[in-house]
Structure 1
């Protein structure tokens, strides 16, 4: 923060200064994930308006200068003076923490924003933020620099580096134009502060499109347009769905349907005691009556994967919470009772199904709407309101009972199929457990000795040990000399392993390379995978830095995603980052030459340009590594394997999901989506990206 702040805004800046000092507390992190979280905060304000029935269009534009703009046609941020502070509504919303229209339940029956910090946090972490509001027949505007209101002296195009003059005696909400009386809405454009966010943090277009599509599913009739103007060819995507979460389930489902998509809806009331601000400015504990609306769409398929998405007021809760606990309990209790009633027909005996038996093949979208939900932290990943659990469980039990007691032929047939599937899963689980307890399977996964080609490490400390999956025998020879034999083990694989996306489990187990990887890691596969039995703390995929290497890495990620997913969930799978080029800088006299490694063509270009500018000579031609086997042992150790100097890229769940999605598209059984992708993408092919 600069030192020329005016005394008038000292209290505002004290609050926002806390945000700048500890941004992770409010947005989770300062990398691309935190940058995206800021964008969600602004978009969700517009979505909250749409949830209330105000406005049905939202547009998001990523500008070439790094800024992002969000527009809506809702009511517009209030522009009148807020009596307690004497500031305009716009300034209160964008400069005061814990201020907004989400507290008293008067302006919003249900909203994603509830802490009143979203807009002000984004403002505090922005180098510049501009707000324009259409309201009352006028267009009002205000600008901020790192949270402080003032005026930018723009010369044409708005820029965060333009001269800035802060307000001193009184803030001014400027009128910059006129609009029709019926036209209302808000436009927010901001530039993220490079002092806060890490170098390389960028808006992720795929993640933005996925979130926009998800929101359009959750708010039927809402149109969301995302425009990316940063590339050579700006492109725009628009999402609008009238079918709501039923369409969302059909979109998410990875397998053929066993049942139709069922809607389970209902509501419940509860009371909670919360502090409410009285007229005298004191917080008074008050008992309030709340209503919670529940809307769930479920569908069972012929497969075995479970896809579950949960939301509170359209805010995703990836780590669940009380609503998801209620769903799990309600569904488990109801289906257990149904199986017990039909035990004779189903030949279920006295055994009871477990959660995994019931959720096999389930695709579900769970949404609840309630005023002022309690989340764990500003990132809103877990719902904490305890009363929601019983309400959701009750709605699930009641709606499922209506479905199972229906006299319609389709409902009766699908209910019977579902019970058959659950019982079959239960029997398979019990049989597998008994089989495992009575005898050891002498197959590729549980043979008494490890593969001969494994070059193991000496240490038995799992936390410190690392398994490098190496591409080819030539790279293995170099890696043997480059490794730390105390902690680093090597497993070579020959060429490209099986594409497990469309292969059966038996084909995967009979594939020598897949079986070796599962056997060496030693924790099993699929549902029986036990991460506590894994023999290595890290698994590092070390493939060549070319197209084939990327292909092999993607195949391996697909294997881990489908059969050893807990390794990815725990953050124990990594990709090594070997260099592409080696530049030898020749120093004059007896001074030894310097070696510079680069990891992309763009980085090589920058390095060579810098050397030319400094009049430094370098060996020509530049050495380009076509494979790991071309590197000397000391070069491989210093750049890729030595813990003191290497760079590792941690694989997260979205990486693995993307790998699975790409392989399903490019190598799956469905031909039509692949043909459509090739036709649509042909004009974007870059010859330079082909490794020829």
Structure 2
């Protein structure tokens, strides 16, 4: 094998125009899987949204066709169809075939827009097997088609129809007349399967989330999505007039501590940018920019942070300078307020940290600036340096004014917010101070564990089990039924606090909740450390009646909100005690057989089977109302012994859906819960009510 070190100019390869996009698609759309496919669609949609943002058109329609294509329609101004003087091409062809060409460079057409680099439409065109565009403008409808970025004519409607490229000059066809006063653009394209992976597909859920998000950010804009890929097309429509305040409320997962506060303002900065002169040359010019800041913030009783940031309605999931300024402003104001109220809040020498302030925060941060600097075409991070200080100044000014307000509601909410962030700080400091003691110990080694804990002897976390038992009567039986080597018991008295409604401080001061958190030993909320948990399985053992189900729901709410990693790791279980005990009588000296059933349906099936076999059973059949009715042997056999028990693993397959259910069942809103109870009452087994 001969290796040459020769490297000269003739080895260099120049990729002209859209060839570079097809050669290195990841540089422009991130990847060639479903994520990249969706990014292409966002590029087309964002162009229509930019028009709506500028006040042109208030309706966008997105259609997923059954042949794999996607179509985006708007009622905006329509892509220019006249000839661009420098290239001699129509505006439509320039937009779809020339990289870094568009109406968003000079600032004359768009004050602020999401498409900044002038490559969106042309990149989508380059990566499409076929793209058709129609433009309504000046009473006429114009049309043009492209094959992998090259303009020409298709002999048919399919992407694989015979294609003839233009030879001498391209042609923007006049297709017909448009209704008077109607303008807009329709783009339909088929993604090129030579570029994208076989399993790349448009995701309806992701598309709906993006459409909903955009409708929140552009009040009054209606976005319609039609999925025609199934036998029965699905159509959804999004329109919100409340703007980002409504968005913050939608995102919030918990009960509110404050109302949704709007923090708005503007700032100016100067930057030197190359400006295209009429002669065609580029000259560095200092220009003054205006940055508009609009933020909606709302704190809730939880500890999770739900934040969304946007630049000119383009999502920046990885943040950037605007996010840095927002957090810096929050930190400055809340630290100042806590220091001013240190005696009242009993703060001591501890300092607030960012996580204390962000706990329970739902925020939507939007900035609008001309020609923002993004890090890469995917626009996930804002890089414009001056925006950081402008956003920080707006947050500082507006939030300080909110704390200085003399209105009763504002004063009450500001006071509650300070108490919340201080309680988060104290919980963090306490968790850090006790981190060394959060390891596997039994009751003999540590006197700090609750006296009512009946611990096990094993120090093997993976093997150990903690049964949270309802009531002292069940505890007595469970003590005799358990295997003391690896099964621990913690009794709880009655119904614990409903933590969906309560604040963090209320939860921590509740004796039952505090005992559970202390016994598990891994902390709670943001400080929860799964590796420090003292037991491999947490098993909720409550009665098989309505009260037992309520207690189980309360316990699951506690785990879901403050110890969720246990559920996500599949380490939380609900014991399934039997509802009935049937003693089948055998003739002669053969001993009677005991069979347990776990539902009314199962009992009736069993009795029918016994009747058919001419077997008799002892009357009356025992119906268990609670765990305390069992003796130790029965409880061990049915509920605690690993060889014969039945456990139901608690999982969180969809955290948002679960959160919605918990809020419905356990939250502050009574009306939706009443409707749910009324609707579901017909499905209730009345025999399970202990009344």
TM range (shorter): 0.5 to 0.7
Relative to structure 1, the CA distance from residue 660 to residue 673 in structure 2 (aligned partners, 3 Å threshold; closer, same or farther) is farther
What is the deviation of 1:135? 0.5
- Structure 1 runs not aligned, ≥5 long: 1-10, 455-499, 535-555, 574-655, 681-692
What is the deviation of 1:350? 2.7
What is the deviation of 1:450? 3.4
- Quick check: 2:125–2:148 contact (8 Å CA) kept in 1? yes
2:384 alignment counterpart: 385
Which of 53, 57, 74 is residue 72 of structure 1 equivalent to?
Answer: 74
> Within 5 Å, which residues of 2 pair with 1:250-649?
250-437=249-436, 440=439, 442=441, 449-452=460-463, 526-528=525-527
Secondary structure of the structure 2 residue equivalent to 1:327: helix
Which of 15, 23, 26 is residue 24 of structure 1 equivalent to?
Answer: 26
1:134 alignment counterpart: 136
What is the deviation of 1:427? 1.4
What is the deviation of 1:402? 1.3
Relative to structure 1, the CA distance from residue 509 to residue 308 in structure 2 (aligned partners, 3 Å threshold; closer, same or farther) is farther
- Quick check: 1:13–1:147 contact (8 Å CA) kept in 2? no
Measured against aligned partners, the alpha-carbon deviations of 1:50-70 in whole angstroms (never above 9, x if no partner) come to: 111100110101111111100
Measured against aligned partners, the alpha-carbon deviations of 1:594-622 in whole angstroms (never above 9, x if no partner) come to: xxxxxxxxxxxxxxxxxxxxxxxxxxxxx
- Distance in structure 1 (CA, Å) of the matches to 2:675 and 2:62: 26
- Distance in structure 2 (CA, Å) of the matches to 1:658 and 1:397: 40
What is the deviation of 1:71? 0.5
2:665 alignment counterpart: 670
- Quick check: 2:559–2:567 contact (8 Å CA) kept in 1? no
1:115 alignment counterpart: 117
2:655 alignment counterpart: 660
Measured against aligned partners, the alpha-carbon deviations of 1:67-102 in whole angstroms (never above 9, x if no partner) come to: 110011111000011111110000000001111011
- Distance in structure 1 (CA, Å) of the matches to 2:279 and 2:653: 54
* Structure 2 residue 108 is the aligned partner of structure 1 residue 106: yes
Relative to structure 1, the CA distance from residue 57 to residue 160 in structure 2 (aligned partners, 3 Å threshold; closer, same or farther) is same
Secondary structure of the structure 1 residue equivalent to 2:364: strand
* Structure 2 residue 164 is the aligned partner of structure 1 residue 165: yes
Relative to structure 1, the CA distance from residue 24 to residue 561 in structure 2 (aligned partners, 3 Å threshold; closer, same or farther) is farther
- Quick check: 1:290–1:370 contact (8 Å CA) kept in 2? yes
What is the deviation of 1:345? 1.3
Relative to structure 1, the CA distance from residue 293 to residue 152 in structure 2 (aligned partners, 3 Å threshold; closer, same or farther) is same
1:63 alignment counterpart: 65
- Distance in structure 2 (CA, Å) of the matches to 1:317 and 1:108: 20
Measured against aligned partners, the alpha-carbon deviations of 1:240-265 in whole angstroms (never above 9, x if no partner) come to: 11110000011110011111100000
Relative to structure 1, the CA distance from residue 530 to residue 285 in structure 2 (aligned partners, 3 Å threshold; closer, same or farther) is farther
- Distance in structure 1 (CA, Å) of the matches to 2:677 and 2:207: 23
* Structure 2 residue 221 is the aligned partner of structure 1 residue 219: no
> Within 5 Å, which residues of 2 pair with 1:147-158?
147-154=149-156, 158=157
What is the deviation of 1:661? 2.0
For these two proteins, the number of residue pairs brought into alignment is 508
Relative to structure 1, the CA distance from residue 387 to residue 676 in structure 2 (aligned partners, 3 Å threshold; closer, same or farther) is farther
- Quick check: 1:59–1:224 contact (8 Å CA) kept in 2? yes
- Quick check: 1:561–1:660 contact (8 Å CA) kept in 2? no
Coordinate RMSD, CA, aligned? 3.7
- Quick check: 1:13–1:148 contact (8 Å CA) kept in 2? no
Measured against aligned partners, the alpha-carbon deviations of 1:370-400 in whole angstroms (never above 9, x if no partner) come to: 0000111111111000100000000000001
- Quick check: 1:502–1:664 contact (8 Å CA) kept in 2? no
- Quick check: 2:270–2:286 contact (8 Å CA) kept in 1? yes
- Distance in structure 1 (CA, Å) of the matches to 2:64 and 2:40: 14
What is the deviation of 1:120? 0.4
Secondary structure of the structure 1 residue equivalent to 2:246: helix
2:43 alignment counterpart: 41
1:87 alignment counterpart: 89
What is the deviation of 1:527? 2.3
1:644 alignment counterpart: none
| TM-score, scaled to structure 1 | 0.67
- Distance in structure 2 (CA, Å) of the matches to 1:366 and 1:657: 29
Relative to structure 1, the CA distance from residue 274 to residue 407 in structure 2 (aligned partners, 3 Å threshold; closer, same or farther) is same
- Quick check: 1:124–1:146 contact (8 Å CA) kept in 2? yes
1:612 alignment counterpart: none
What is the deviation of 1:284? 1.6
What is the deviation of 1:666? 5.4
Measured against aligned partners, the alpha-carbon deviations of 1:81-136 in whole angstroms (never above 9, x if no partner) come to: 11111100000000011110111111100000000000000000111000000001
- Distance in structure 2 (CA, Å) of the matches to 1:334 and 1:213: 32
What is the deviation of 1:530? 6.8
1:235 alignment counterpart: 234
- Distance in structure 1 (CA, Å) of the matches to 2:130 and 2:652: 35
What is the deviation of 1:422? 1.0
- Distance in structure 1 (CA, Å) of the matches to 2:128 and 2:288: 38
What is the deviation of 1:228? 0.6
- Distance in structure 2 (CA, Å) of the matches to 1:181 and 1:250: 41
Relative to structure 1, the CA distance from residue 509 to residue 81 in structure 2 (aligned partners, 3 Å threshold; closer, same or farther) is farther
Larger Rg: 2
Secondary structure of the structure 2 residue equivalent to 1:15: coil
- Distance in structure 1 (CA, Å) of the matches to 2:18 and 2:676: 46
- Distance in structure 2 (CA, Å) of the matches to 1:676 and 1:54: 42
What is the deviation of 1:676? 9.3
